[in-house]
Chain A
Amino acid sequence: MRRHRLRWWEALPWIAGLAFYFAFPDYLGFGCDLLVTILFALSLDLALGYAGIITLGHGAFFGVGAYTVGMLASYNIWTEPITGLLLAAAVAGVIGFLSGLVLLRTTGLTLLMLTLCTMTLLYEAANMAAAYTGGFDGLPSLPISPVFGVFEFNPLYADTQYLFALGVILVCFIFVRILVYSPFGQSLTGIRENVLRMHAIGSPVRRRLIVCYTISAALAGVAGGLSAQTTAFVNLAVLGLDRSATVLIVLILGGYGRLYGAFIGAVVYLALEHFLAQIYPAAWQLGLGIVLVLIALFARNGILGLGETLWQRFGPRRAAP
């Protein structure tokens, strides 16, 4: 029962988020990227880390969310940001539900292939409809209405965008936190750990997985929508394999199946990428590859898992229960 009690250090990421706003006013665009990546990784964590649904195509929902916001804004149909995100969540959630309904009957490599193909399918569909989606060139300079009708998004200076994104991921995070500590969240962990036993105790496994996949897709849709709003831009890259692979790496780097893995992973990955990739891209890719191989071989629970192991070994001893 005590596991889900709020602890003092859980306020730290949000304090750090606010501190970043005041400390690095020139890097707020990068900060928005960071927040979007955290939210996207968090949505993947729900499906992959908690329910154990191994997917290579989570970018599908990110892209759907981004295009929902982007196309509605680009054609001046709907530019209000908060309801825009809700619409993005709804559309991505519906697609997640429909694809989950058919895809989640499979497991392993088949599931991996099906999620990958679904994403590539959407990519090619967006490419085919380039007249509406803008194709590779994308939809630039999306008009986004002021938040609450007051706070304007300044295309040159991302301060409003940053605070808006911080608020959005705070709300989403609280939702995810409540969800994973609920009985529903516990049953997801059970499915990940041993699906046969969950069947045996009469848990409606497939229904749970579909609900989880739908929620995860909706959150990824919010992340995509947020990305379109904060950058005022959307193009085909949101549906690319690169983005799905990156978010997978971010999550695993931080540690999956833990609420804060997405935060740590995104900060470490994006900070390193931001500084190294521009100096010498090939060396960055080489280093990333080596780190991934090492994580897969030795540190399967990512940075947070590594920290926990070290803490258990060298940290203060706990009294026997």
Chain B
Amino acid sequence: MNAVADIAGIVLGGLAAGTVLFIVSVGLSVTMGLMGFVNLAHGALAMFGGYVIVLSMNRAHFGFGAALALGFVATAALSVVLERMLYRRLYRAGELDQVLFTIGLIFIFIASTIIVVGSETQQLQLPPALSGQFNLGFIQYRAYSIFLIVVGFLIALGIWLTFERSRIGGQIRATVDNRRMAESLGIDVDRLFTITFAFGSGMAGIGGGLGAEFLGLDPQYPLKYLVYFLIAVSVGGLGSVIGVYYASLILGILDFVLTLYLPKGGTIFIYALTILILLARPQGLFGRKGL
């Protein structure tokens, strides 16, 4: 019985971490799939959203739901401004310029956060309903982790349905598959991209806030988790919602297990696995096309 509870605890903890990873990365996957833009600064938007959420709760005493909504809207709005003013100029540039540009953005976000808010870690105060334990029948587990897993599943389901069933989802899929063809069929790719970029960034912002409790939220966040966001996206496959969902969950569980049992360098297996998967399938597990 105890072993079952242990395993369930590990799986649930890993799933909760993976869920946060998914909520942050899903927008990155879709926007990179659409435009082929190497956006290393996605984590910076997640951090921005996280700060908005945590600060609006701690300093302006917003409720949890209201703070999340504010985080989504603020991050999405900021991303539209950035996209219109800066990203747009670099769509046809080489990867090197895009890498350089987004590294520059990361530095700007980190430094601005230190200057405006300070370099200390921000604590997320969970609402009382989520801070206790939740009885799953065979074990007691942290209510917040259960909440994250359920919410993440619903979000994944919602995005997947939008992708597969709605008109805009069809347009996105068509553009990921063949951008020129989609454009010549009259799909407004620029508008599509702005919408998905804003939505994806908003989701990243929510992810930053939801994950603040156990990933920590400090100015180094965009660099600290950059590799994980990129792994989730590239292993899952660009432009594939299902792929990112599975990749994030697997990554979350692996990381949870390895840091628990092999705290020194255990995550080496994650990188080795990523290299093997990408060598065997450069387009990722569920990718529609080569990267």
Listed in ascending order, the chain A residues whose CB lies under 8 Å from chain B are 48, 54, 56, 102-103, 105-106, 108-110, 112-114, 116-118, 120-121, 124-130, 135, 241, 245, 248-249, 252, 256, 282-286, 288-293, 295-297, 300
B175 to chain A, nearest CB (A): 17
Chain A residues within 8 Å of B105, by CB: 289, 293
Pick from B38, B107, B272, B275: contact of A112, CB below 8 A.
B38
Q: B265: CB under 8 A from chain A?
A: yes
Q: B267: CB under 8 A from chain A?
A: yes
Provide the bound-state CA to CA distance between A256 and B114, in Å: 31
Q: B11: CB under 8 A from chain A?
A: no
Provide the bound-state CA to CA distance between A110 and B108, in Å: 26
Q: Which residue of B lies closest to A256 (CB)?
A: B96
Q: Which 6 A-B pairs have the closest CB atoms?
A: A292-B104, A128-B265, A289-B107, A286-B111, A296-B101, A289-B108
Hey, what's the 0/1 contact readout for B95-117 against A, CB within 8 Å counting as 1?
11111110111111111101100
Hey, what's the 0/1 contact readout for B271-284 against A, CB within 8 Å counting as 1?
11011001100110
Q: B90: CB under 8 A from chain A?
A: yes
Provide the bound-state CA to CA distance between A297 and B93, in Å: 9
Q: Which residue of B lies closest to A116 (CB)?
A: B227
Q: B191: CB under 8 A from chain A?
A: no
Pick from A48, A109, A130: contact of B291, CB below 8 A.
A109
A241 touches B227 (CB 8 A): yes
B268 touches A128 (CB 8 A): yes
Given contacts A241-B223, A286-B115, contact A249 B100 (CB under 8 A): yes
Within 8 A of A (CB), among B250-283: 262, 264-268, 271-272, 274-275, 278-279, 282-283
Q: B86: CB under 8 A from chain A?
A: yes
Given contacts A121-B275, A128-B268, A252-B100, contact A292 B291 (CB under 8 A): no
B274 touches A248 (CB 8 A): no
Provide the bound-state CA to CA distance between A105 and B279, in Å: 9
Pick from A48, A121, A296: contact of B90, CB below 8 A.
A296
Q: B16: CB under 8 A from chain A?
A: no
Chain A residues within 8 Å of B107, by CB: 285-286, 288-289, 292
Q: B234: CB under 8 A from chain A?
A: yes
Chain B residues within 8 Å of A241, by CB: 223, 226-227
Chain B residues within 8 Å of A130, by CB: 264-265
B106 touches A110 (CB 8 A): no
A283 touches B111 (CB 8 A): yes
B111 touches A293 (CB 8 A): no
Q: B231: CB under 8 A from chain A?
A: yes
B104 touches A296 (CB 8 A): yes
Q: B189: CB under 8 A from chain A?
A: no
B111 touches A295 (CB 8 A): no
Chain A residues within 8 Å of B227, by CB: 116-117, 120, 241
Pick from B99, B101, B114, B271: contact of A124, CB below 8 A.
B271
Interface size class of B (residues with CB under 8 A): 35 or more
Chain A residues within 8 Å of B278, by CB: 106, 110, 113-114, 117
B227 to chain A, nearest CB (A): 6
Provide the bound-state CA to CA distance between A288 and B104, in Å: 7
25 residue pairs of the A-B complex, CB under 8 angstroms, read A48-B96, A103-B279, A109-B38, A117-B271, A117-B275, A118-B275, A121-B275, A124-B266, A124-B267, A125-B265, A128-B268, A241-B227, A252-B96, A252-B100, A285-B110, A286-B111, A288-B107, A289-B103, A289-B104, A290-B104, A291-B104, A292-B100, A292-B104, A297-B89, A297-B101
Q: Which residue of A lies closest to B96 (CB)?
A: A54
Chain A residues within 8 Å of B290, by CB: 108, 110
Hey, what's the 0/1 contact readout for B30-42 against A, CB within 8 Å counting as 1?
0010001010000
A114 touches B279 (CB 8 A): yes
B39 to chain A, nearest CB (A): 10
Provide the bound-state CA to CA distance between A249 and B106, in Å: 13
B90 touches A297 (CB 8 A): yes
Pick from B106, B114, B230: contact of A116, CB below 8 A.
B230
Provide the bound-state CA to CA distance between A122 and B224, in Å: 17
B234 touches A109 (CB 8 A): yes
Provide the bound-state CA to CA distance between A321 and B168, in Å: 57
Chain A residues within 8 Å of B267, by CB: 124
Provide the bound-state CA to CA distance between A175 and B237, in Å: 41
Most buried by B among A249, A256, A296: A296
Chain B residues within 8 Å of A289, by CB: 103-111
B265 touches A296 (CB 8 A): no
Provide the bound-state CA to CA distance between A293 and B267, in Å: 32
Chain A residues within 8 Å of B114, by CB: 282, 285
Given contacts A127-B265, A252-B96, contact A121 B104 (CB under 8 A): no
A285 touches B268 (CB 8 A): no
Provide the bound-state CA to CA distance between A293 and B275, in Å: 30
B144 to chain A, nearest CB (A): 29
Pick from A106, A121, A288: contact of B268, CB below 8 A.
A121
B97 touches A282 (CB 8 A): no
A153 to chain B, nearest CB (A): 31
Provide the bound-state CA to CA distance between A127 and B267, in Å: 10
Provide the bound-state CA to CA distance between A249 and B102, in Å: 12
Pick from A48, A116, A128, A286: contact of B112, CB below 8 A.
A286
B102 to chain A, nearest CB (A): 8
Given contacts A128-B268, A241-B227, contact A108 B291 (CB under 8 A): yes
Chain A residues within 8 Å of B96, by CB: 48, 54, 252, 256
Chain B residues within 8 Å of A256, by CB: 96
